[in-house]
Structure 1
Amino acid sequence: MTMHTGGCHCGNVRLAFSTELDASQIEVRACQCSFCIRHGSRAVADPNGRLIISVKDDALLQKYQFGLRTADYLICRDCGVYVAAIAGEDDAIARDDARAIVIINALDDRERFNQAPVLVDFDAESRAQRQARRRTHWTPVEMNFGWFLFSG
């Protein structure tokens, strides 16, 4: 597996995205919801990969929800960078079966993900459809608070 690391600008949130997919071949998605458009979001996921999100100070981690409230959009309160979205029932971050997308703009090697973004719009999905799609297409995720598993 290849590991792609990154995080927010100030370093409070660190990412480690592991995948066997080649970065130049992985599908990049540009969600067309109002939140993602305003952030210029380009996201990737691999259901066979792994995303580790390490947070030094969780008081500086903003979890934002909107619409159907089926995901936590993670934004650093200190520097304002949107790094990932985590989906799951109830408190997604606390669940063992949580799934995530990683925002490639937050990765150190973002230029390697060079496919033209596929514009996607999920507004017509029901809550159940959205949760099912994320369970099968998003990346398994692990959250670590108060320390980093890696340096980068």
Structure 2
Amino acid sequence: MRTYRGGCHCGAIHLTFETGIEPSDMEIRACQCAFCVRHGSRAAADPQGRLIVSVEDEARLHRYRFGLRTADYLICRDCGVYIAAVTTDGDDPRAIVIVNALDERPRFSREPVPMDYDAEDREGRIARRQARWMPVEVKVSG
């Protein structure tokens, strides 16, 4: 496993992404929903890896939900950087990391694959995320 770090622009939120997949081999997904398009989102996940989101002050972490409301989109309240999405259903939280928020983002060089999830129902979306997203821990220390 290799570790990649990152976070938001102002430093309020930190990311630790652990993966066994080489960055140049990792599939990068570009969701085509209005939210992700507006953020220029490039997302990655390793179902065998892990993501840790660390924030000292929970008030600085904004959790945005829309659509089927099956995930929290994590955004820094101070600088506005979108850093990850975390499932909200079930006892096994899963996540994607936003590659643009990683320090070594140029290493994740594959062309993003445009993804359209509009046809999914709630159950299908949850099942896809459980299979393709990675385990996550959100640590709040303050």
* Aligned positions, number: 142
Structure 1 consecutive aligned stretches of length 4 or more whose deviation exceeds 4 Å = none
Query: TM-score of the superposition, structure 1-length normalised?
Result: 0.91
Cα offset, 1:88, TM superposition:
3.1
Kindly report the root-mean-square deviation, in angstroms, between the aligned alpha carbons of the 2 structures.
1.0
Q: Which residue of 1 aligns with 2:127?
A: 132
Q: Distance in 1 between matches of 2:123 and 2:53?
A: 26
Q: Which residue of 2 aligns with 1:61?
A: 61
Q: Distance in 2 between matches of 1:120 and 1:141?
A: 22
Gaps of 5+ in 2: none
Which amino acid is the alignment partner of residue 146 of structure 1? S
Contact 1:83 1:102 (C-alpha < 8 Å) held by counterparts: yes
Question: Do structure 1's residue 108 and structure 2's residue 123 form an aligned pair?
Answer: no
Gaps of 5+ in 1: 148-152
Contact 1:88 1:98 (C-alpha < 8 Å) held by counterparts: yes
Q: Which residue of 2 aligns with 1:143?
A: 138
Report sequence identity in percent.
Answer: 60
Contact 1:85 1:100 (C-alpha < 8 Å) held by counterparts: yes
Cα offset, 1:89, TM superposition:
1.1
Contact 1:88 1:131 (C-alpha < 8 Å) held by counterparts: no
Query: TM-score of the superposition, structure 2-length normalised?
Result: 0.98
